[in-house]
Structure 1
């Protein structure tokens, strides 16, 4: 099976450097529609659906392979092998951010930069680490999903999206959640919300931009601060946005932050400053 078919890969734009976009849980590549086109005049842009999501081949979803984020990391690198000959930039949202980060650790020579949108290395509070949820919160969230996935989606998607002045975005995310295969979504949710890659973060050496929302139900500000302290060559940019999806609800601010980061990191050949 070709990776293009398995992951519903679409390539646009042109340029010596490739930007590959990795969406979050319950989403698909259309969530990048406000952001990706801004870069297609200078970069080769690769959009795809995570295996088991969107219009990917759901039959390719192997619970053993995708029992950890590493299965999706392998897919990302295979897509780059098929679609990108030169250096790459990975842009990941939510769980797509740690997938991208782990890919830069596995193959640092392939990447010149990474952008982490609403990232979290671990959603669970642990001692001094603030992830946003106590263990019982995660258990309750997953149990609620098991009981009635569609009802869970209708309640959670608008809260995750936020964007109180743009209710259509919450409705869109609800539809996106509900389009997923419930069995796959439940499995992927457990992988997502119970993942803990904190020990891997210091191993990442590729320059990184952390985009943190000012008011995010899923990822509190402390998570962005923790990542900035532990991720080498990182810049932290706070986006004034209510919700977890600034690439949809605050696309101009998100695009401007990425442009500034890339100008400094790539065009000037430098490392990002503390708060780019």
Structure 2
């Protein structure tokens, strides 16, 4: 069977520029999460949006539990999209777990990547004390995964406001909760397990692509210690601490997010 990569991942292309910029959504989301950011890039870039298999408008028929039991399965899809579109030297903007998916893809084939922009990244969510603080202990992650299995809707309404922060703007956590709930529960749980159990620390030394780390303040998913760790272990990386609170600045603080990405790209 011939796979139509662009249909599989619901790829959308816009913009009037030639320099490619790829926006990759995080866990429990889809490409719509970039809607406040994308218009600012369309004059100068060729903008590529997509959904991971199991998210948004992707083709669920292509979901393979074995393939996607590792972040490398998602990295493979990123490379296939880039190959299909014949991209070279693209800017890859990854939110949350997509930062590491992009990093893994760039290690496998760096010719596709000019820069990595990481929004709320984490190479490891689980603490490995005393040397590494990821923000969660193993028991907390196990409880979260159990809750997803037992009560998916309850899990979504519990996690959304914690991840979003910005409690005075209820509509933001409502949107995130709705996004969580729109996923197939079995696929979402596997993606959650693959995400929260992943450990990409050993992959950091191999990264040859320069990167921007956008670290949100008061981020319950990827705390400041994680941003500092990444900056210390990624050569040619730039760390910017955002005023934005929470884990979804592209929704809660799109102007600040856009400005930081643009100023970084303009100066490199």
Shorter-chain TM-score range: over 0.9
**Structure-2 residue corresponding to 1:111:** 113
Q: In the alignment, does 2:9 pair up with 1:7?
A: yes
Say whether residues 1:39 and 2:41 are aligned partners: yes
In 2, Cα distance between equivalents of 1:42 and 1:258: 13
Flag structure 1 segments of 5+ consecutive residues without an equivalent: 266-276
Match of 2:179 in 1: 176
CA deviations on 1:195-223 (whole Å, 9 max, x unpaired) are 00000011111110000111111111000
- Alpha-carbon distance in structure 2 between the residues aligned to 1:243 and 1:153: 16
Contact 1:115 1:210 in 2 (8 A): yes
Shift of 1:86: 3.4
Partners of 1:117 and 1:212 within 8 A in 2: yes
The alpha carbon displacement at 1:119 in A equals 0.4
Residue 100 of structure 1, CA deviation: 0.8
Q: Determine helix, strand or coil for the equivalent of 1:192.
A: helix
User: Equivalent residue of 2:202, what SS?
Assistant: coil
The 1-side partners of 2:96 and 2:63 are apart by: 20
- SS state at 1:199 partner: helix
> 2:241 aligned with 1:238, yes or no?
yes
**TM-score, normalization by structure 2:** 0.97
TM-score (structure 1 length as normaliser): 0.94
Partner-residue secondary structure (3-state), 1:130: coil
Q: Is 2:121 aligned against 1:83?
A: no
| Partner residue, 1:50 | 52
**1:157 paired to 2:157:** no
Where does residue 143 of structure 1 map in the other structure? 146
Name which of structure 1's ranges 127-136 and 219-228 shifts more when overlaid on structure 2. Answer: 127-136
Deviates more, 1:160-169 or 1:232-241: 160-169
1:249 is displaced (CA, Å) by 0.5
Large movers: runs of 4+ above 3 Å: none
CA distance in 2, matches of 1:162, 1:33: 20
Output the aligned Cα RMSD.
Answer: 1.0
Contact 1:164 1:242 in 2 (8 A): no
**Are 2:193 and 1:190 aligned?**
yes
SS of the residue corresponding to residue 56 of structure 1 reads coil
Q: Which moved more, 1:35-44 or 1:219-228?
A: 35-44
1:205 paired with 2:211, answer no
> Is the 1:16–1:87 Cα contact (8 Å) retained in structure 2?
no
Distance 2:77 2:16 in 1: 22
Provide, for residues 1-36 of structure 1, a one-character-per-residue CA deviation record: whole Å limited to 9, x for no partner.
Answer: 211111111000132321111100100000001112
Whether contact under 8 Å (2:88, 2:113) holds in the other structure is: no
User: Pick from 28, 31, 35: which aligns with 1:29?
Assistant: 31
Question: 2:209 and 2:55 mapped to 1: Cα distance?
Answer: 27
How much does 1:163 deviate? 1.7
